[in-house]
Amino acid sequence: MKKSIGIDLGTTNSVVAVKKVSTEVLKNAEGEYITPSCVMVKKRLMRKPEFIVGRDALEWIRQEPENTITAVKRLIGRNFHEKEVQELISKQSHPYQLSTHSRGSANSLAIQIGGREFTPEEISAKILAKLKADAEAALGDEVDAAVITVPAYFNDKQKHGTRTAAALAGLKVRRLLPEPTAAAISFGVDKISGNDGRTVLVFDFGGGTLDLSILTISGGRIIEMGKGGDMWLGGEDIDQLLINYVLEETARDEGIADIRALIAQQKPARKNKFLAELKTAVERAKIALSDQEETCVEILGVLLDQDGDPLDVEVELPRGRFEGMMIPLLKSMLGLVRGVIADVHFTEDLIDNVLLVGGSSRIPCVIKAVKEEFGQEKVLLHERPMLAVAEGAAILSHRLADTVECPQCTRNTAQNATTCSHCGFDLERHTVEHGVVEIVHAAAHDYYIKLENDQRFLMVEKNTPLPCSSTEVFQLVDAEQELVHMKFYNVVNRKEQGIGDLWLGIDQDKEQEKVEKEEEGAARKPLLPSRIEITLDIDENNLVSVNAALLNHPEVALSRTLSRGKADEKLFLELEQALSDADKEQYSTYTVIDLQNRARSIIGSINGVVDPKNDRVDEKRYEQARKQIHKAIKIAANEEAPLTQLYYAESMLDDYAVLIEPRVQDQLRDKIERLRQVDENGSYEETMRASAALSAALDDKRLAQVNTLMQIENASEICFKTDPGKAKNFCGSFPRFWRPLKNRMALWRRSCMPFCRRWMKFWKIMP
Other Cβ atoms less than 10 A from the Cβ of 284: the count is 12
Rg, C-alpha atoms of the chain: 34
Q: 300-304, 448-452, 755-759: which range is least confident on average?
A: 755-759
User: What pLDDT, on the 0 to 100 scale, is given for residue 568?
Assistant: 92
Average pLDDT over residues 108-130: 95
User: What pLDDT, on the 0 to 100 scale, is given for residue 88?
Assistant: 85
Task: Measure Cα distances from 517 to 507, 514, 524 in Å.
Answer: 16, 5, 10
User: What pLDDT, on the 0 to 100 scale, is given for residue 66?
Assistant: 86
Q: In percent, how much of the chain has pLDDT > 90?
A: 53
Measured at the alpha carbon of residue 503, what is the angle toward residues 500 and 504, in degrees to the nearest 5? 145
Which CATH topology does 3-191+381-438 take? Answer: Nucleotidyltransferase; domain 5 (3.30.420)
Adjacent-strand bridge partners of 547: 535
Identical fold for domains 3-191+381-438 and 443-563, yes or no, is no
User: What pLDDT, on the 0 to 100 scale, is given for residue 8?
Assistant: 98
Give me the residue spans of the domains in the chain.
3-191+381-438, 443-563
**DSSP letter for each residue of 220-268:** TEEEEEEEEEETT-SHHHHHHHHHHHHHHHHHHHHT-S-HHHHHHTS-H
Q: Are 472 and 460 in contact (CB under 8 A)?
A: no
Adjacent-strand bridge partners of 353: 200
User: What pLDDT, on the 0 to 100 scale, is given for residue 535?
Assistant: 92
pLDDT tens, 269-313? 888 889 889 999 999 999 999 999 999 999 998 999 988 899 999
Report how far Cα 16 is from the mean position of its chain's Cα atoms: 25
704-722 and 642-656 helices, crossing angle to 10°: 110
Residue 509: which pLDDT band, with cuts at 50, 70 and 90? Answer: low
Average pLDDT over residues 617-629: 92
Looking at domain 443-563, its CATH superfamily turns out to be Substrate Binding Domain Of DNAk; Chain A, domain 1 (2.60.34.10)
User: What pLDDT, on the 0 to 100 scale, is given for residue 293?
Assistant: 94
User: What pLDDT, on the 0 to 100 scale, is given for residue 743?
Assistant: 52
Residue 432: which pLDDT band, with cuts at 50, 70 and 90? Answer: low
Task: Measure Cα distances from 22 to 146, 581, 686 in Å.
Answer: 17, 64, 69
Better-scored residue on pLDDT, 528 or 170? 170
Average pLDDT over all residues of the chain: 85
User: What pLDDT, on the 0 to 100 scale, is given for residue 523?
Assistant: 45
**Cα distance between residue 348 and residue 62, in whole Å:** 46
Other Cβ atoms less than 10 A from the Cβ of 514: the count is 15
**Cα distance between residue 60 and residue 43, in whole Å:** 13
Measured at the alpha carbon of residue 73, what is the angle toward residues 68 and 74, in degrees to the nearest 5? 100
Q: Are 336 and 363 in contact (CB under 8 A)?
A: no
Exposure b/e, 406-439, CB count within 10 A at least 16 = b = bbeeeebbeeeeeebeeeebebeebbbeebbbeb
Measured at the alpha carbon of residue 123, what is the angle toward residues 119 and 127, in degrees to the nearest 5? 155
Q: Are 242 and 282 in contact (CB under 8 A)?
A: yes
pLDDT tens, 566-586? 999 999 999 988 888 887 888
Average pLDDT over residues 240-259: 94
State which amino acid sits at residue 592: V
Report how far Cα 664 is from the mean position of its chain's Cα atoms: 52
Residue 521: which pLDDT band, with cuts at 50, 70 and 90? Answer: very low
| DSSP E strands, 258-411 | 294-304, 310-318, 353-357, 379-381, 403-405
Residue 531: which pLDDT band, with cuts at 50, 70 and 90? Answer: confident
* End-to-end CA, the chain: 73
Other Cβ atoms less than 10 A from the Cβ of 752: the count is 11
pTM (2 d.p.): 0.84
Backbone CA torsion sign across 29, 34, 36, 37: positive
**Cα distance between residue 637 and residue 556, in whole Å:** 31
User: What pLDDT, on the 0 to 100 scale, is given for residue 520?
Assistant: 46
Q: 116-130, 525-539, 579-593, 684-698: which range is least confident on average?
A: 525-539
